[in-house]
Structure 1
Amino acid sequence: MEDHVLFSESLELALDLEGHDALSVSPTAFTSTQALLSRVLRLRPGLVLLDLDLGALGDGRRLIPSLVEAGAQVIVVTAATDRARWGECLALGARRVLPKSGSLNEILATIRRIDQGLPVLDAGERETLIGLARQQSREQAEIRERLERLSPREGEVLGRLMLGETVREVAAHFVVSDATVRTQVKAILAKLAVSSQIAAVGLANRVDWRPPGVG
């Protein structure tokens, strides 16, 4: 499932030449991940090459458990370079993650090894990647726990800072003094254990946090 047409068509042609019955399913033709997943599962694929970037449908990682449960071998082919993200894919059941910067031959070689029942990833590398994913998960949980310590107003102030507003602009928005907002910002920094507004905003963005009242 690939939304970059040229890459997808090249890959499909290479698979056809290898003797595989390949079919490309573009996420742009669907309005939800569930509709995309239902379409793929109806095809009963033995192997799925999955992109993590599904465009408007978001992150392809969400599809991995259902594909694996249905009996498909999943190979992730992605432009993402975050190795912790690769590890999460493996933890969810993917057989291997391959970079798009690699060659088609590497993808085809991986498929051949799966067809032959051979391992496609060194056990040590697999353990390392999954370990990175678990470490990142723990760190993100800790960050969310810190963010939960913010009072509703502190959360709103952080939300305004995330929009790029200055202390004066935040004060004007809430119709309070600059000194009041500075006191709230100090409380935010203390609760998040950071030393600057930039670091606080970066921490919130790291876990895709949203201020109170924002979905």
Structure 2
Amino acid sequence: MRLIVVSDHSLVSEAVRMALASRGFEAVSLTPPSGRGGHRDFTMRVSRFGPAVGLLLCELEDRSLLRDAVATVSSVRIRWLLLTRSRDTAAWGALFEAGVSAVLPMTTNLDTLAGALTQEAAGRPVMADEVRVRALEAWHEESVQSRRVAGLMGSLTPREMAVLAMLHDGLTVKLIAQGANVSEGTVRSQVKSILRKLEVSSQLAAVAAYRQMREFALAVHDDE
């Protein structure tokens, strides 16, 4: 059976490829695509090889990594398994939506992995439907909340958005005021307006909302 092994870490993907070859799989290791040209090349290489299954090895510590994983899975219409340490249910949901069929932990042994790949190639379920449903629900809930936050962010003025970005970067009100050559009172008034518009009660909550908006944008937009 032919399959592709995809990872940012070529040594890891090559080690997995060699291990699977010892179980009779015909596999090639590839790095994830990047940019439009990279996606075209990746798609052409996969199409020429004609794999039955793709095995994606990746971590999902932040939404930029999730975006790249979603782009990889979406670039070719084959069956996919994800091998990861991440327990981020919402991120799993995004990848299920993109085309991943099942998620396995990095601790999976070779025999179990080989069996799962064989099952996947045959169209047999590898993981329980309830897990997929919960993950998809978590991703959709995150999407709704993040779009709501993005909508609230749209009510901020350019200056308020700049102040919020600086708060996110760790600057204090005093430093922001000094940088803009305005009084601390002016910046505090801007912060109060930000909190009111975002419907939160603290700077920490406002910064968290800003981070959520940025991470969600990274997760849903492909590289140009």
* 1:53 CA drift (Å): 5.1
SS of 1:62's equivalent in the other structure is helix
- Note the C-alpha offset of 1:18: 1.9
Measured on the aligned residues, the alpha-carbon RMSD in Å equals: 2.4
- Quote how far apart the aligned CAs of 1:154 are: 0.5
1:27-66 mapped onto 2 (5 Å cutoff) = 27=32, 32=35, 33-34=38-39, 35-52=41-58, 59-66=68-75
**Matched residue, 1:187:** 193
**Aligned residue number for residue 12 of structure 1:** 17
SS in 2 for 1:153: helix
Greater RCO between the two (CA within 8 Å, min separation 6)? 2
Aligned-partner Cα distance in 1 for 2:112–2:149: 37
SS in 2 for 1:95: strand
- Tell me which amino acid in the other structure corresponds to 1:62: A
Which amino acid counterpart does residue 77 of structure 1 have in structure 2? L
Distance 1:104 1:145, change over 3 A: farther
Identity score, percent: 32
* Aligned: 1:94 with 2:100: yes
Task: Count residues in correspondence.
Answer: 204
Deviation at 1:5, TM superposition (A): 4.1
- 1:147 aligned residue: 153
Q: TM-score, normalised by structure 2?
A: 0.81
Paired residue type of 1:172? Q
Q: For 2:171, which of 145, 157, 165 is the aligned residue?
A: 165
1:193 counterpart letter in structure 2: E
Q: CA deviation at 1:92?
A: 1.4
Q: 1:22 aligns with which of 9, 20, 27?
A: 27
Compared CA separation, residues 202 and 170, structure 1 to 2 (3 A): same
Match of 1:134 in 2: 140
SS at match of 2:54: strand
Matched AA of 1:186: K
Q: Name the CA shift for 1:45/1:93 in 2 (closer, same or farther; >3 Å).
A: same
Question: Gapped runs of 5+ residues in structure 1?
Answer: 211-215
8 Å contact from structure 2 (residues 59, 84) kept in 1:
yes
Structure 1 CA distance for aligned equivalents of residues 31 and 72 of structure 2: 14
**2:119 is equivalent to residue 110 of structure 1:** no
Q: For structure 2, list consecutive stretches of 5 or more residues without a partner in the other structure.
A: 1-5, 218-224
Return the structure number with greater strand share: 2
